[in-house]
């Protein structure tokens, strides 16, 4: 999987996440400005942008721009980098830019601007450590347990709030919570995508890969359970439901794994397909957990020959 997890899918995940953010994010973070109108493209010409990258850019109803940056570390160099990006956005689009940094680090004394000759540059910094993530997490769990809808922005921002848990631990908890709620597929994907986009800056590659694998397994099992229940209902009796669920789980996992493998291996040989169809649930789960290490048909041999 390596870095492709974030690079290859970032544009899609960003669009899903930004769609969730733009609804209530101003009220949630206490940002005072005009309402968000739309997601604004952040690309700059390569010759000018160099390695610059911004997190979120929105166009507001007064035609100005809102630039949101998420940072776990913030230095004077960070401030200069953000200033350079804003200056180039202003030069290209001729629009004023309001910049807000969402900061999850521990340093309470941060530079919020500078004056240099004719330049007087100021940003706003919101400290996520002012939110008690442990208390908010318990409140959202209670809502879900009682059948209520959670506050989605609370869930999305939980991993970077003050907490006794690490960002990785809280991210995994939030994603598991989301899987318990009855949601449309598009809504579930948007919420999880938003969580991943925020977590991306605060996790190392190994942590991110571990979380990504758990999400893959959650999706496999959720799909399998749905197929099993459908099969059980068709049977119409308790025994049929039990057998249907067992068979549905295996068939569902098999179908999802085959779809994942087809994305990674072109033209899977028919003999390999037949062997996969004969595998039990445990072997199928092993393939799912190691899906990102499989690049050719022969990589499946350890799972098919045991």
- Give one DSSP letter per residue of 84-141, joined into a string: HHHHHHHHHH---EEEEEEE-SS------EEEETTEEEE-EEEEGGGSBHHHHHHHHH
Query: What pLDDT sits at residue 229?
Result: 40
* Structural domain count of the chain: 2
Q: Which pLDDT band holds residue 254 (cuts at 50, 70, 90)?
A: low
Q: Is residue 239 part of a domain?
A: yes
Domain stops at, among 130, 146, 175:
130
Q: Does the model's pTM come out above 0.95?
A: no
Query: What pLDDT sits at residue 176?
Result: 86
Q: At what angle do helices 205-235 and 167-180 cross, to 10 degrees?
A: 20
Domain stops at, among 130, 162, 185:
130
Q: Is residue 64 part of a domain?
A: yes
Radius of gyration of the chain (CA): 23
Count, residues in the chain: 306
pLDDT digits (tens, 9 = 90+) for 91-122: 989 999 999 999 988 888 899 999 999 999 99
Q: Is residue 25 part of a domain?
A: no
Q: Is residue 55 part of a domain?
A: yes
Q: Which pLDDT band holds residue 192 (cuts at 50, 70, 90)?
A: confident
Query: What pLDDT sits at residue 140?
Result: 93
Domain stops at, among 130, 159, 181:
130
Q: Which domain holds residue 50?
A: 31-130
Q: Is residue 62 part of a domain?
A: yes
Q: Is residue 125 part of a domain?
A: yes
Query: What pLDDT sits at residue 217?
Result: 56
Tell me the pairing of strands 119-122 and 113-116: antiparallel
Query: What pLDDT sits at residue 97?
Result: 95
Q: Is residue 163 part of a domain?
A: no
Round to the nearest angstrom and report the end-to-end CA distance of the chain: 25
């Amino acid at each position: 999987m390596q870095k492709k997890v974030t690079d290859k899918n970032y544009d899609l995940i960003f669009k899903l996440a930004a769609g969730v953010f733009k609804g209530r994010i101003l009220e949630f973070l206490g940002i005072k400005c005009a309402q968000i109108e739309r997601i604004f493209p952040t690309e700059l010409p390569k010759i000018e942008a160099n390695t610059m990258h911004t997190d979120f850019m929105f166009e507001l109803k007064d035609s100005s721009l809102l630039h949101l940056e998420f940072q776990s570390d913030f230095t004077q160099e960070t401030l200069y980098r953000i200033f350079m990006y804003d200056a180039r956005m202003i030069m290209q689009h001729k629009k004023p830019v309001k910049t807000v940094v969402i900061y999850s680090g521990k340093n309470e004394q941060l530079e919020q601007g500078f004056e240099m000759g004719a330049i007087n540059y100021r940003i706003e910094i919101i400290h996520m450590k002012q939110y008690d993530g442990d208390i908010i997490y318990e409140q959202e769990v209670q809502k879900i347990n009682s059948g209520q809808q959670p506050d989605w922005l609370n869930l999305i921002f939980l991993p970077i709030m003050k907490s006794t848990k690490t960002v990785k631990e809280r991210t995994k908890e939030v994603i598991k919570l989301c899987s318990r709620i009855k949601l449309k597929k598009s809504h579930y994907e948007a919420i999880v995508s938003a969580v991943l986009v925020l977590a991306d800056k605060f996790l190392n590659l190994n942590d991110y890969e571990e979380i990504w694998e758990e999400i893959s397994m959650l999706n496999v099992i959720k799909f399998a359970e749905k197929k099993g229940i459908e099969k059980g209902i068709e049977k119409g009796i308790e025994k049929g439901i039990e057998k249907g669920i067992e068979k549905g789980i295996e068939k569902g996992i098999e179908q999802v794994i085959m779809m994942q493998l087809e994305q990674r291996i072109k033209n899977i040989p028919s003999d390999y397909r037949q062997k996969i169809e004969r595998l039990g649930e445990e072997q199928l789960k092993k393939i799912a957990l190691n899906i990102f290490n499989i690049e050719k048909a022969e990589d499946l041999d350890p799972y098919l020959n045991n």
